[in-house]
Amino acid sequence: MTDISKPDLRPVNPRFSSGPCTKRPGWTPTFLENTHLGRSHRAKPAKARIQLAIDLTRELLGVPDDYRIGIVPGSDTGAVEMALWSMLGARGVDMLAWESFGAGWVTDVVKQLKLDDVRVMEADYGQLPGLSAVDWTRDVVFTWNGTTSGVRVPNADWIAADREGLAICDATSAAFAQDLDFQKLDVVTFSWQKVLGGEGAHGVIILSPKAVERLETYAPDRPLPKIFRLTKGGKLIEGIFQAATINTPSLMVIEDVIDAMEWAKDLGPNALRDRADANHKVLADWVAKTAWVANLADDPATESNTSVCLKIVDADVAGLDADGQAAFAKAIATRLDQEGIAYDIGAYRDAPAGLRIWAGSTVEASDLQALTAWLDWAFATEKAALVQPA
């Protein structure tokens, strides 16, 4: 095989996983030294820390004062499922799906909840479904940013301000790095392990007054596990949104996310979004001048600035069958992992063959810049092995 010279500059931090994502720059566990680990999460000082995590979330995201914010079990998945099982069925539902997680919510609503009046609006990886066809007399469930396709909705203009139904938005991998118009959203969910680089297992659910009204006026005809119950006796369980939580949270995880949000607060308003935008630009500029790769998103206006998904368009690779294309992309990711250059950058298992690089706010642009040269090196190395004579 042809010997291709390796780049001189290496990323300082090779963690480009799309979840859990890399910790903030300069992170150390020293913030845990003076915490309330080992105490009850209902003890006054521990509860105050949980409330601080809620308050910082409201401040950083610009959540309206009359919206509730709760910390719930099961990561973003738990938060989404809580909304689907507790609220859907009061009216028809439009389900939007253009990648694996959105498709998962479709499965839950159609095959598990078995609702009668469901419209499924799907698009292939790299595209969005026709947003103008959404009927806002119905509830609408969608992801803001498709983590596994790298395609996001460009804005909230397509969401009706006078909607009759609820806008239920899975915003993980978007929250903190993309602008969320809360006046257009009734349920917003996400996990800390994405843009904030937090730890897993916990989700966040944000409810508009309209969503609270739905909970207090609609009782679904199905059993709800305790971890999904947001009401008692027809009234919202306010304690969930006042740091009581549904079950025991990890105080270590709470401290970790407080550390991340205080770092973000010190950076200044919109800093997390600006960092992600700058990171995306590094990759977009490289893609624009690189013949062998392209963004999976068909429309630049829908390109994610956090989960950047790439497809290999080199003619020799594109001419391979699906298994061959997947093997080639995996070889690039494996080679860079073995070199200690980039960890966990293979495409999601259900997505088209390619690469997925996290460009969220905790990543340094300089590391992405260094990575691009290594991507070219890994491609050239694998391409030489592919085309060399037998």
pLDDT at 34 (0 to 100): 75
**Amino acid present at 116:** D
The fold of 268-387 is Aspartate Aminotransferase, domain 1 (3.90.1150)
Cβ-proximal residues to 75 (8 Å cutoff; 6+ apart), any chain: 191, 193, 200, 201, 202, 203
pLDDT at 2 (0 to 100): 57
**Of 81, 109, 43, nearest to 230 (Cα)?**
81
- Tokens for 71? 């910390």
**Can you state the percent helix, strand and coil of the chain, rounding each to 5?**
40, 15, 45
Task: Please name every residue paired with 356 in a beta bridge, in sequence order, or none if there are none.
Answer: 309
Tokens 């069958």 sit at which residue?
Answer: 321
Q: Do domains 29-266 and 268-387 have the same CATH topology?
A: no
Number of alpha carbons in the 13 Å side-chain half-sphere of residue 43: 10
CA distances from 182 to 62, 144, 187, 368 (A): 8, 12, 9, 31
pLDDT digits (tens, 9 = 90+) for 152-182: 999 999 999 999 999 999 999 999 999 999 9
The fold of 29-266 is Aspartate Aminotransferase; domain 2 (3.40.640)
Domain boundaries, the chain: 29-266, 268-387
Walk along the chain (390 residues) and give the pLDDT tens digit of each residue: 457 899 999 999 999 999 999 999 999 998 888 788 889 898 999 999 999 999 999 999 999 999 999 999 999 999 999 999 999 999 999 999 999 999 999 999 999 999 999 999 999 999 999 999 999 999 999 999 999 999 999 999 999 999 999 999 999 999 999 999 999 999 999 999 999 999 999 999 999 999 999 999 999 999 999 999 999 999 999 999 999 999 899 999 999 999 999 999 999 999 999 999 999 999 999 999 999 999 999 999 999 999 999 999 999 999 999 999 999 999 999 999 999 999 999 999 999 999 999 999 999 999 999 999 999 999 999 999 998 755
- The pTM assigned to this predicted structure is 0.96
Mean pLDDT of the chain: 96
pLDDT at 390 (0 to 100): 52
Cβ-proximal residues to 254 (8 Å cutoff; 6+ apart), any chain: 49, 50, 53, 71
β-pairing verdict for 68-73 and 202-207? antiparallel
